[in-house]
Amino acid sequence: MNERKIPVSENLEKLVLKLKNRADIFVVGGYVRNAAMGMGETDVDLASEISPDELKQLLKYSDFKVIDKSKKLGTVLIKIGDEEYEHTTFRKEEYDDSGKHRPEKAEFVSDIREDAKRRDFTCNCVYYNLTHRRYVDIYSGLYDISKSLIKCVETPTYVFQNDGLRILRMVRQAAELNYKIDKSTYFTAKSMTYRLKDISGQRKLNELKLILYADQKYSISKPKAHLKALNMFNDLRLFPLFYVPCDRVKLTMLKKVKMEDRFVALLIDIVNAVNPDCVEYYLKDLLGSNGLCMGKAGDEYIKIVCGYFDALNRRNNKEYFFKYFDNFNIIREYLKYTNKKLYEKYNFFYRYILNQKIPVRIKDLNIDGNDIKKALPKLEEKNISKILKQLLDEVFANEIANEKSELIKEVKKIGNSRNY
């Protein structure tokens, strides 16, 4: 293929000049791959035989700021103005028996071939010597780039044995770049998906989110790239490694929704595939600390998905909107794709509640706990919430008006009848 010269910023030129008397500086990875394809730039990953401590000394009195990122792996961030580069010292790695992604031991080396051996795919393993402006292509990566091919640098068994996360990177990059996958690479990955068991839920989630938006990554990314990737999940049987107890997930909802709705759509498709006894319980497990580790962010997704399925199960209006009113503006979009009659039914009540300003939350009442304490001075604190819930029920049912004076009267009436 035509070996394109790689564009270099003025600041990066300055960095190379400062270091050229010590060692050649290389850029490697996505930046080189994309430049070779004539595409836009990505993050700048630099590599050389210079150690982090020596790099700090060499740049000590310059405009460049060097910040440690991983001393063990020899990785630092080099910052100047708005630009940032990640520099890693050439190294070779040793992994333990797990597939947990991080090497157990790293040894700094001066041989670029040893550094290349630790990388994943040939398309990501083309080095560009910034000092002398030439490619260093140890594994014929430029040829594979010209063929739009993802292929392991060493034997696929060696590559995936060292790092299970590379299987997900293979799927994601094939989708983002619209690349084919070398047969040996693909079928070895299929036989080694167990290497993902040791990868944390958070890392899996990060890759999954990138996959869901694979069609947005590059100008060459295809409109349905995310579906291509998740169909590979089905073929490779990856879903069980994402805490989904079934081999395949039909991507029915995911095919219908807008881009911003994809994660919820995938959760809906997963629930339909799993068919759990309790949707909420299953999703808490899937998104919680024993699963994808979403933390509090997962709670919102759980409420939306549960609201969708509760609507399909025709939960009564009062219970439904007391629980899901704040989320219904989002939930209704998914209902629209599935059951238009149910969408129209629930949306009618939603709009009615909005237009008539009917309270569906405690905070919507024109009374609060302090008002109740004044009306019932001897009331125990634990009973305040009970009274507020009763008032909400009565106002929603139009049994009393949501006016403070009327609510106070009702509070006193409740207090006298129940001997609070």
Q: What is the pLDDT of residue 417?
A: 76
Question: 3-class SS at 108?
Answer: strand
Which residues have a Cβ under 8 Å from the Cβ of 47 and sit 6 or more positions away? 25, 26, 27, 28, 87, 88, 89, 90, 112, 115, 127
Closest by CA to 150, choosing from 170, 176, 164, 175, is 170
The DSSP output letter for 10 is H
* Residue 415 bridge partners (DSSP): none
Which residue matches tokens 């990737």? Answer: 229
In angstroms, rounded to a whole number, what is the distance separating the alpha carbons of residues 370 and 215?
53
Q: What is the radius of gyration, based on Cα positions, of the chain?
A: 29
Per residue in 261-286, pLDDT (tens digit) is 999 999 999 999 999 999 999 999 99
CA-based torsion, 123, 128, 133, 136: positive or negative: negative
* Residue 94 bridge partners (DSSP): 105
Burial 102-127 (b: 16+ CB within 10 A, else e): bbeebebeeebeebbbbbbbbbbbbb
What are residue 49's phi and psi, to 5 degrees? -85, 0
In angstroms, rounded to a whole number, what is the distance separating the alpha carbons of residues 283 and 303?
10
In angstroms, rounded to a whole number, what is the distance separating the alpha carbons of residues 376 and 387?
11
Per residue in 63-95, pLDDT (tens digit) is 999 999 998 899 999 999 999 999 999 999 877
Q: What is the pLDDT of residue 98?
A: 62
Q: Give the strands of the sheet with 134-136, arranged side by side.
A: 65-70, 75-80, 83-89, 44-48, 26-28, 127-129, 134-136
Is residue 154 within 8 Å of residue 133, measured between CB atoms?
no
Q: What is the pLDDT of residue 380?
A: 86
In angstroms, rounded to a whole number, what is the distance separating the alpha carbons of residues 85 and 75?
10
What residues of the chain score a pLDDT lower than 70? 1-4, 97-102, 418-420
In angstroms, rounded to a whole number, what is the distance separating the alpha carbons of residues 350 and 355?
9
Q: How far is CA 40 from CA 12, 30, 241, 312, in A?
A: 17, 10, 33, 45
Closest by CA to 269, choosing from 212, 318, 326, 200, is 212
In angstroms, rounded to a whole number, what is the distance separating the alpha carbons of residues 156 and 303?
41
In angstroms, rounded to a whole number, what is the distance separating the alpha carbons of residues 417 and 352?
33
